[in-house]
Amino acid sequence: MSTNETVISFKNVDFNYDPKKPILEEVNFNVRKGSKITLMGQNGAGKSTIFKLINWGLKPLIGSVNIDAKLTIATSYQVVKPEDKELTVQAFFRKYHGDESVFNIDKEIGEILRVVGLKAPLERLVKDFSGGQQARLLLGAALIQNPDILLLDEPTNNLDKDGIWKLTEFLQEYKKTVIVISHDADFLNSFTDGVLYLDVYTQKVEMFVGNYHDVVEQISRKIEKENMANARLAKEAQAKKEQANVFAHKWGKLRAVAKKMREAAEEMEDSMVDKRKEDKAINSFRIPMQEDISGVLLRINSVHIIRDGEVEVQDVDIELRRDDHLLLSGPNGIGKSTLLQKIVSGEEDGVELTSWVKIGYYRQDFSNLNFNQTVYECLREAAGENMPEQELRKTAAGFLLTWELMKTRIGDISEGQKGLVAFCRLVFLKPGILILDEPTNHINFRHIPIIAEALDAFEGGMILVSHVDEFVWQIRMDQYLDLE
């Protein structure tokens, strides 16, 4: 239950990495003690930047961020740091515990692992866990600090249904302050009592009170009113300008009247509210299929799964043909991502891939993208040199990839923007088989129905892993393989 006591206060905060690209401008908001807040905004708007300003990872260029120095802050990030992957589970939790005087924290680690629903030997290396299991470790590393302010950055990414349920239950019972970045509407609606809305074009933050679904409706109504008011002002300003043009060619006092009319038109245009362009979704798209493919594209005779830490071989009988869509399911840690990786690399013994079939692989951690390439270099490589420049840029723009963003290194863009790059790349690749590992992670909820429509219409073979039922239900599935 929140109180009237303010624990976080932003006052006229400006921040940018490049003076030509402002991220935050005159940002003002307060967060009350014990409240559970969603931080909402378009991919790349600056949500993670706000987190870094709160946990002292960054300092504002102008303005102030006020947090009581006595309060502890813990952040659960989206991905494990490279240096942390070489740590054991015990060393990982000890690093983030914060109290070096504790000699034996194994009991605390065990309690946290139960909270996040993970069985993990303390001597096992972090890098040996699946993406979903690493997500639980990241969450546990924040929870073990028992912070006064808990910051969660896309905490449901890679979590299966059981993991999301356990996290939801925990947050509903947590008595301290929580701020969450997430695109999972149902998850957010289960505990949110307010939303901080970050506008990517005005670089300002608005505060809304209510659960997530209520706030989304409030924002939609406000945008509709703003657009109607803009249309009215634009019409009146244009009428003033036309009258001014007529009077400007007259003599005497009419010229003065024309001048006043122009000034009135300019005032009307100045009073128009900046359109919330970030509410625009990506354009509808289709992923073209590799030409001249037929017959069996992929045959799966057996798979390796991990059960209670032991590798088992499971016999299956799956044939993937053109226009066959396969849903691959199972709990975190059973080996779904590993199986997909081995199919792509040709290392899975029980899988036969037709040699000439091209695979389009959407990997959940984007590690099959070259982070040192610019977005343009990545897309040009996928499209080939024969694609006209205009067509490449037009397709990219449909995924909200502006020319400014195209010149940026992939390693420097947000996770959500990496996801849009990955989908745009699939359009250019024209694969025979699509392999998609949690493709909704990091993606703005407005884009998800459009992505589902494109996957549903794909005419090649497809293997999909996703824990988001609402997304899966929108896509035609012909076969199912449950590794559990």
**Each residue of 313-370: pLDDT tens digit?**
889 899 999 999 999 988 887 888 888 989 998 888 888 988 889 999 999 889 899 9
Q: Tell me if 6-216 shares its fold with 296-482.
A: yes
pLDDT of residue 136: 85
The pLDDT score that the predictor gives to residue 334 is 84
Closest CA to 286 of 459, 438, 460, 427: 427
433-437/359-362 β-pairing: parallel
Residue 391 · residue 428 · CB < 8 Å: no
pLDDT of 256: 66
Residue ranges in the chain whose pLDDT is less than 50: 278
Tens digit of pLDDT for each residue in 258-269? 667 667 766 666
Query: What is the C-alpha to C-alpha distance for residues 401 and 407, in angstroms, rounded to an integer?
Result: 10
pLDDT, tens digit (0-9, with 9 covering 90-100), for 466-481: 988 888 999 999 999 9
All structural domains of the chain with their residue ranges: 6-216, 217-279, 296-482
Strand order in the sheet with 149-153: 73-76, 149-153, 177-181, 36-41, 194-198, 205-209
CATH of domain 6-216: 3.40.50.300
Structural tokens at position 243: 């009258």
**pLDDT for the residue 129:** 84
pTM above 0.85, yes or no: no
C-alpha radius of gyration, the chain, whole number = 26
Rounded to the nearest integer, the mean pLDDT of the chain is 85
For domain 296-482, give the fold. Rossmann fold (3.40.50)
Q: What does the alpha-carbon distance between residue 423 and residue 402 come to, in Å, rounded to a whole number? A: 15
Question: How confident is the model at residue 274, as a pLDDT?
Answer: 54
Amino acid at residue number 110: G
pLDDT at position 253, please?
61
